[in-house]
Structure 1
C-alpha cells in the first residue's frame, strides 16, 4: 500500500516543489502532487521541513574509528550504519595506496559482502591508487606507487565481482592512455589525482576518457599563468567533474567558489575524503600505515600534511550555503545527483524521481538533518 510524505519543500530531480505530497510505493518513489491523497492513505507529516535525495559520498575511507583498509566486514558495516547520521544513503568505500596483496583482500571482502551492510548502500569501490607520482603524494604511501596495470585491475575486478566503479591515477605515469581506454570500455570511471602532470598531459588523458578530478586543488599541480597544471585542467576542460572537499581546511571558500563558477555546480562533486576519525573525538588515529593527529577540525600526518578529512557530507552542504557560494538546491545537488552522475550511478541513486529507491533525508530550513530513510523506511532519526 502506498504512503505519502507531506513536507514544505521537496528537492525533486529537476525542480524544487512544495508544499505537497510525495508517494512511496513498495520502497520506491512514486509521483509528487500538491493535492492531498484521498481515502485512508498513510501520510507522514514533515510540515515545515524539507525532503532531499539521500546524499552520495563517492570518496570516503572510513568513519567512527573504522577504515575500509581494515579489511573487516563488521567495521565496514559500522561505517555503513553510521553514515546514515551524515545523511548519506549511498557510498563508494575508498581504498588507499597499499600492497597488491592488501588491495586484493580488501576488494574481495567488499565484493563478497556489500549487500549485507545495514545502513548506507555500497554502490561500488573507489580505488584511490596505487598509480600515482610522488610530488603531490599527500597521505598515500609512495612505497607502493607504480605504473597503471590492466592485469592488476582485471584481477581486482574479478576478486570484487566487478564492483570497481572508479579508479584514480596520475596522468604522467607510463601507459596511462591504454589503461584509461580499457577502463572506459569496462564502465570504470577514471579519476585523476596525486599528480604533477602538466595541463597538456592531463588534457591528453581526459581526451582518452578520464572524467573526474579527485579532491580538486589538493594533491595536484597548481594553476600557474604559464603552466595551468591539473587545477587549470579541472577548471577548463569540457565534460568532466571536479571533486572538492568543503570543510574549510582543504580549500578556501573563495577558491571553492571559483571552481564552482568556472566548472559549474552541476559538474562540481562534493566529497568528504573522510578517514576513520570522522565522528570521533580529537586524538591519534591511523590512515593506512601512517599515524594521524586529529585536532582543530583537521586530520594531519606528523609532517603536517592533510591526511583525508573528518568532514561529514551533511556539513559540506551546510558549509557552502553558509559561505554564500551555493543555494540549498545547488548544495544538495552537488552532494547527491552530481556525485551519482560522476560515476554513472544516477540511474539508481542521487535523485527523487519515480521508480528510484526511496532513499531520502529530512532537513530543517537551516539544513540540519532530522531523519534518513532507506527504501521508504526511517533508519535514522535525530
Structure 2
C-alpha cells in the first residue's frame, strides 16, 4: 500500500513542522515532503486538524484490555493488550511479566515469539520484571515468587536475547558477579529495579553493562546525604536510561522535573506500568488471586498499596506537559524516541522519517488520541 498523509501539523520526533505530507509505502515512511510537493494524482489522505506524531512506545505493560499478561500468557491475551493500549496512542509495547514461576515466564516468552510470528507488529519484545529482587523492595510482587537466580536462569535469559528484544529488571545486588556482563553481551537490556542497592553496587553494575532503571523513585533505595542509593546513582548516571510512571500517584511532579533535568539528553522514558484495567470496562482484576481495584484513579490492593497503574501513554504525556510543565515536544520524545533509543531501535522506531516504520498517533488540541497507525495501518479512535 502506498499513500500520502497530509498533516497540518507534524512532530517528526525532533521538531514541529506545518503542512507536511508523509509518504507511506509498504508499512514504512519513504518520504516527508512539503504539502505542495505531493505528486499529482497520488493517493492522499487529508488529516485536517490535529498533530501527527510518532506512535508511543511503552516499555512496561503488565496488562490491558482486561488481560493481565501473567494470568494469560498467550497470543490471544497479547492481542487484547494491544487493542486496549492502542486507543491511548501506544503503537509498540513490551508485554511485561512480573515475578512468577519459571513456567509462567517461559510461556510468556513463547507467546511473544508466537505473536510476532503471527504478525502482531505492536509486540516488539518482552520485559521480565523479576523475580530476582530485594525482598524489602518487592512492592506488590508476591513474596514466595522472589528468589535468587541460578545458572539455568541466566542461560535461559541469555538465550532470549538472541531471539527478541528482552528487558530484564532485577536487583543488581542479588545477581551473581558477571551476570550482567553475560546478559548484556547476549543482547539482554538489564535494568535495576526493586532493589536496595548502594551507589557502589550500581557503579559495579554499570561497569558490567547496566542499561537503565525501572520506574525511577519507586521500589528502590532513596537518595540520602551520605548514601546516594539507587535514586542518586540513577540521577548521576549519564550512560543509563530510566523509566518513570507519570500518573500523579507514583511520583511527585517536582521529582519528575528533577529527573528530566538530571537525565537530559534523551534518557528519561515515560512508562505506564499499566495493568488489565486499561482499555477495559471493568475497574478491577486479579493479581496472584487477590482483587486489585481502581480507587480515585489509583490501582490498589486490599491494604491500599499501589499495584501498577491505570493509565495509558497519552495520560502520561498529558500529565508531564500540563502538571509537570515539560514542553510538549519533549513529552512526545519521552513517549517515543527515547524508549526507541533505549531499545536500540532508534533507526526504525520513534521518529517520522524515511526508513522508519509508519507508526503514528494523531492528537487533537486537548491531547486526546484521534487516530493511530501501526506499520501503516490506520485505526480511528474518535472523531475530531
TM-score, structure 1 length as denominator? 0.94
Q: Which runs of 5+ in 2 are unaligned?
A: none
How many aligned residue pairs are there? 380
CA distance in 2: counterparts of 1:217 and 1:158, whole angstroms: 30
The Cα shift of 1:283 comes to 4.3
Quick check: 1:282–1:294 contact (8 Å CA) kept in 2?
A: no
The Cα shift of 1:167 comes to 0.2
- 2:217 aligns to what? 217
- 1:99 aligns to what? 101
- 2:92 aligns to what? 90
Q: Which runs of 5+ in 1 are unaligned?
A: none
**Structure 1 residues 117, 305: closer, same or farther in 2, change over 3 A?**
farther
* RMSD between aligned residues: 2.0
Aligned ranges for residues 1-382 of structure 1 at < 5 Å? 2-36=2-36, 37-69=38-70, 70-116=72-118, 118=120, 121-156=122-157, 158=159, 162-163=163-164, 165-175=166-176, 177-264=177-264, 266-281=266-281, 283-382=283-382
CA distance in 1: counterparts of 2:328 and 2:175, whole angstroms: 42
Quick check: 1:50–1:362 contact (8 Å CA) kept in 2?
A: yes
- Deviations 1:29-85 (CA, angstroms, capped at 9, x unpaired): 122222421310122112332110110011010012101112232221111122211
SS of corresponding position for 1:18: strand
- Deviations 1:282-330 (CA, angstroms, capped at 9, x unpaired): 6442224443122110111222221110110011111111115211110
Quick check: 1:183–1:190 contact (8 Å CA) kept in 2?
A: yes
Most deviating of 141-150 and 193-202: 141-150
SS of corresponding position for 1:45: strand
CA distance in 2: counterparts of 1:326 and 1:265, whole angstroms: 14
CA distance in 2: counterparts of 1:365 and 1:159, whole angstroms: 42
Quick check: 1:115–1:122 contact (8 Å CA) kept in 2?
A: no
CA distance in 1: counterparts of 2:331 and 2:117, whole angstroms: 29
SS of corresponding position for 1:122: coil
Quick check: 1:276–1:287 contact (8 Å CA) kept in 2?
A: no
SS of corresponding position for 1:130: coil
SS of corresponding position for 1:172: helix
Quick check: 1:110–1:160 contact (8 Å CA) kept in 2?
A: no
TM-score, structure 2 length as denominator? 0.93
- Deviations 1:2-24 (CA, angstroms, capped at 9, x unpaired): 42111122111432222221222
CA distance in 2: counterparts of 1:153 and 1:347, whole angstroms: 29
**Structure 1 residues 182, 284: closer, same or farther in 2, change over 3 A?**
same
Quick check: 1:28–1:358 contact (8 Å CA) kept in 2?
A: yes
CA distance in 2: counterparts of 1:174 and 1:5, whole angstroms: 49
The Cα shift of 1:199 comes to 1.2
**Structure 1 residues 180, 160: closer, same or farther in 2, change over 3 A?**
closer
Quick check: 2:162–2:187 contact (8 Å CA) kept in 1?
A: no
